[in-house]
Structure 1
Amino acid sequence: MGKRSINADICFWRDPDLPGVEARFSSYNEEAFRKHVHAAYSVGLVKTGRTSFFLDGEMHDAEAGQVVLIEPNVVHACNPERDSCMTYRMFYVDETWFRSVGQEVFGSGAASPRLPRPVVDDSELYAHWRELHEAIRGNRHRLEKESLLVQGIADILVRYGELSGREQDSPGGEGAVEAIKQYLTSHLESKVNLDTLSDIAHVSRYHLLRLFHAKVGLPPHTYQNQLRVDLGKRLLATGTSISQVAQEAGFVDQSHFSRVFRQFTGATPRQYQRGASPSTVK
């Protein structure tokens, strides 16, 4: 009896907060693809197994923990090696995202990015794009997803891309960062987006992320989550129900609130509420 095909284990996500981006998770133990092209940039994360894939007339190998980078409209076919089960996360990112971030990184004269290395060993890059995948799957806030995407594209371009021009000096300073912090503080329940923060700071999205992290030590979405958790702690201390706290603090739902709350406090909202009182919470 032959091995059971698991090529049916496939999921897709198309997030309205990230137009032009499609994420997928797939598991294959036999050939599934003929040679084909995508109009978008492809960023793949090999989770398990190995693949020997065809790309533009050549064969390349990739295995678990590696990142696969494929330019738009390049003929390729990625299938698992014989007797191997390959699972992977994949992103298809519209060329406009790469072009716009490339211009933010390297200057307005930069051409469409090229990715001459189809397989890279970069655990940090792998972990970053995996986090973006989880953010899309978990329907996290728009600002977090946008920040992860822009930074992820920028990391690919700076480390492995070929563009003309050079990186701009980061403009802005304390005033821009303080304006962003004030905006985030006053919009805890809003679905803040990166373009809005870029307009406030008068810098590009890429330089906004660099500037904010350099001054604050956190990306904007993490800083806003910290503010939301702080508000959640105050509300929990008054006896407000966890579901109501999650809503008032601007989280997607109670599950999202509980997960983020634990990341920041090391305790669940219920554990915190049981031990908190208005006189002891800071």
Structure 2
Amino acid sequence: MEQPGYEQRGYLREDFRLFHLSASMTETVGWHYHAFHKLCVYLGGDAIRYGIEGRSYALEPGDMILVPQGCVHRPEAPLGAAYDRMLLYLSPEYLRSISTEETALETCFLQAAEEFHFVIRTGRRNGTLLEPLFALERTLAKPGFGQTMLEQALVAQVLISLTRGMQEQALPFASASAADEKIAAILQYLACHLTEPVSIDDLAAKFYISKYHMMRRFRAQTGYTIHAYLTGKRLMLAREKIASGVPMMEAACKSGFGDYSAFSRAYRKQFGQSPRASCQKDFSGKNGKDT
């Protein structure tokens, strides 16, 4: 079975982590994904683009990039480019644990993944949205009374403010540029039909495109093949199901895998452990630099 052309990067052993990075780009970053949600805030620097799920965005200072769990992404900038940003890693399980029935704190990430809108242009509301992040940074640097409650309150404030702005249309989404609209439509279709059988021939017919031309364009825009993309996404989905207690064979089946043996081999190669071992270990992901 062909393996995905992207990798899992970054790690999260805590409920959340906050980074403020101002270093310039020192390496070319390939397509990758995380087993957690990530909020990236571009504070300034040189001309930086950000690619997510086949779309590319020219960033402006204050832009907030929503990277849902499992979405492939990468920064696009020349080596040496100045890149000042804040990164907030968020465990999906943590967000669910501090949510209420009326307020699901994952909503902004789930909406971004469903609608394929990932970059929020904060504009004049920049300061209002950034202040809770800076307050969280100060709190983490100097722990004190009520530390856990204050951290939860600030994380919730960030996500509630974002979600309200999105739902009230007070925060516009940035338009993707330099994207192949046909491939973007195919990516969105695959995301909506991830667990269903998908053949290259049927996909090409649905989008009125030669299958060979489609495969070339898909790889040019994303860096990997359609098969690798589907396999990687399905593995991520299965991993999440296993982590939530779904039996391994059921998780494989409900994630679009018809052959458990092939699933198990692909899973081991992708995550470095068998599905059974995943039931007994944390889901922190591989160590590595993030962007």
Category of TM-score, reference length = shorter chain: 0.3 to 0.5
Structure 1-normalised TM-score? 0.44
TM-score, normalised on structure 2? 0.43
Q: Rg bigger for which structure?
A: 1
Give the structure, 1 or 2, with the largest relative contact order (CA under 8 Å, sep 6 or more): 2
